[in-house]
């Protein structure tokens, strides 16, 4: 596990890219600048998708998303919504699990002498989006490492507590894998995720209305036209043709593929991405990033046109952020009782 050598480089390419209603329980109404949006309760039961072929990737937007290749995946089950705080809390309650963001930081992870590490970076915490009041294209201006931020206190120790039907955030790769093992699923491959997200339609570079992204000039003006300034409960927007909510937008979703710019045109049958020793993330050279998909509530036309199934970036596996989550896939009918 490696943390980015220098904060706030943070390896948060995800961030850089910004360029962020289960379901099962309580329907949610939230007032927003453009009016209220009703978030109906939706169940947890995963959706089965038969295997098939699709056009994976997108040319003409960001170079690392192409070339488009016809790709085949076997069938699988997939969570209909991002893993929520309610679900993650059940896992923690059952296992006593403590996430990476809640543990002391090992200075060796920074790969620089200890006296060159800002003291706050050695405290348990995570990266929180903190918008500046001025225009900027430098992600150091809006990503802050906040000691005490974790999935239970997503805005830091002085902020509000976790909300049950919002996606769980501030998790490291190991945390997601531990949850997946407990829940009887696994992190999807990039191909599985994109197959599920695209739902038979080629990826297009148009900011969707039925997704939580950012309207206005990022990072200092958020018009909230979609109803949410920040993260939204799961299920507030129309599902895609596969019945899946928030594949695009809300929070980025981690896949199991190591990241490299571009797709291998020859790797078309259930691709699993490059081997770890072939991983390469230009934003974090020397670190094997994982691939994240779909953009977040921070993606805006002027900075991060990532509100698409084909969007992809590398993400530091060792450090959580406030705009990255995940969902699981299953190779058979999920064994764990689910909230229908």
Does 291 sit near Ca ion (CB under 5 A)? no
Does 228 sit near Ca ion (CB under 5 A)? yes
Does 326 sit near Ca ion (CB under 5 A)? no
Does 194 sit near Ca ion (CB under 5 A)? no
Q: Dihedrals φ, ψ of 175, to 5°?
A: -65, -45
Does 281 sit near Ca ion (CB under 5 A)? no
- Distance (Å, whole) CA 140 – CA 129: 10
Which residue, 271 or 294, has its beta carbon nearer to Ca ion? Answer: 294
Does 250 sit near Ca ion (CB under 5 A)? yes
* Per-residue buried b or exposed e for 59-96, using 16+ beta carbons within 10 Å of the residue's own CB: eebbebbbebbebebeebbbbbbbbbbbbbeebbeeee
Measure CA 161 to chain center.
Answer: 20
Which residue among 64, 246, 257, 281 contacts Ca ion (CB under 5 A)? 246
Candidates 336, 9, 290, 65; CA nearest to 179 is 336
Does 226 sit near Ca ion (CB under 5 A)? yes
Which residue among 84, 212, 284, 305 contacts Ca ion (CB under 5 A)? 212
Task: Identify whether the C-beta of residue 298 lies closer than 8 Å to the C-beta of residue 323.
Answer: yes
Which residue, 126 or 207, has its beta carbon nearer to Ca ion? Answer: 207
Site map 126..145 versus Ca ion, x via CB under 5 A: --------------------
Tell the smallest beta-carbon distance from residue 52 to Ca ion (Å).
21
- Distance (Å, whole) CA 309 – CA 196: 9
How many residues belong to the site for Ca ion (CB under 5 A)? Answer: 8
Give the CA distances from residue 20 to residues 76, 90, 136, 251, 332, in Å, rounded to whole numbers and listed in that order: 26, 23, 18, 5, 30
Tell the smallest beta-carbon distance from residue 82 to Ca ion (Å).
6
Which residue, 102 or 166, has its beta carbon nearer to Ca ion? Answer: 166
Tell the smallest beta-carbon distance from residue 39 to Ca ion (Å).
13
Q: Which of 98-106, 114-122, 124-132, 287-295 is the region at the interface with Ca ion (rule: CB under 5 A)? A: 287-295
Task: Identify whether the C-beta of residue 223 lies closer than 8 Å to the C-beta of residue 209.
Answer: no
Residues of this chain that bind Ca ion (CB under 5 A): 212, 226, 228, 246, 250, 253, 294, 297
């Amino acid at each position: 596990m490696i943390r980015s050598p220098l904060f706030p480089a943070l390896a948060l390419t995800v961030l850089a890219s910004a360029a962020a209603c289960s379901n099962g329980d309580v329907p949610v109404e939230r007032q927003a600048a453009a009016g209220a949006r009703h978030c109906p309760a939706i169940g947890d039961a995963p959706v089965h998708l038969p295997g098939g072929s699709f056009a994976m990737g997108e040319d003409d937007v960001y170079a690392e998303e192409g070339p488009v290749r016809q790709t085949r995946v076997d069938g699988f089950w997939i969570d209909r919504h991002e893993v929520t705080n309610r679900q993650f809390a059940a896992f923690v309650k059952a296992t006593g699990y403590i996430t990476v963001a809640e543990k002391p930081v090992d200075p060796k992870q920074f790969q620089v002498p200890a006296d060159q590490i800002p003291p706050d970076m050695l405290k348990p915490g995570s990266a929180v989006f903190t918008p500046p009041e001025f225009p900027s294209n430098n992600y150091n201006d809006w990503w802050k490492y906040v000691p005490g931020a974790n999935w239970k206190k997503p805005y830091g120790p002085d902020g509000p507590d976790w909300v049950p039907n919002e996606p769980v955030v501030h998790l490291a790769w190991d945390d997601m894998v531990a949850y997946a093992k407990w829940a009887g699923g696994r992190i999807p491959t990039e191909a599985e995720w994109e197959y599920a997200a695209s739902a038979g339609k080629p990826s297009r570079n148009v900011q969707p209305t039925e997704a939580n992204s950012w309207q206005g000039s990022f990072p200092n003006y958020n018009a909230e036209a979609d109803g949410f300034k920040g993260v939204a409960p799961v299920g507030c927007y129309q599902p895609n043709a596969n019945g899946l909510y928030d594949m695009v937008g809300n929070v980025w979703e981690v896949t199991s593929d190591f990241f490299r710019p571009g797709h291998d045109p020859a790797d078309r049958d259930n691709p699993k991405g490059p081997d770890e020793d072939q991983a390469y993330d230009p934003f974090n050279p020397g670190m094997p990033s994982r691939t994240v998909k779909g953009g977040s509530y921070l993606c805006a036309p002027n900075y991060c046109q990532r509100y698409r199934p084909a969007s992809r970036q590398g993400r530091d596996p060792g450090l959580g952020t406030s705009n990255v989550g995940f969902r699981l896939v299953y190779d058979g009918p999920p064994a764990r009782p689910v909230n229908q």
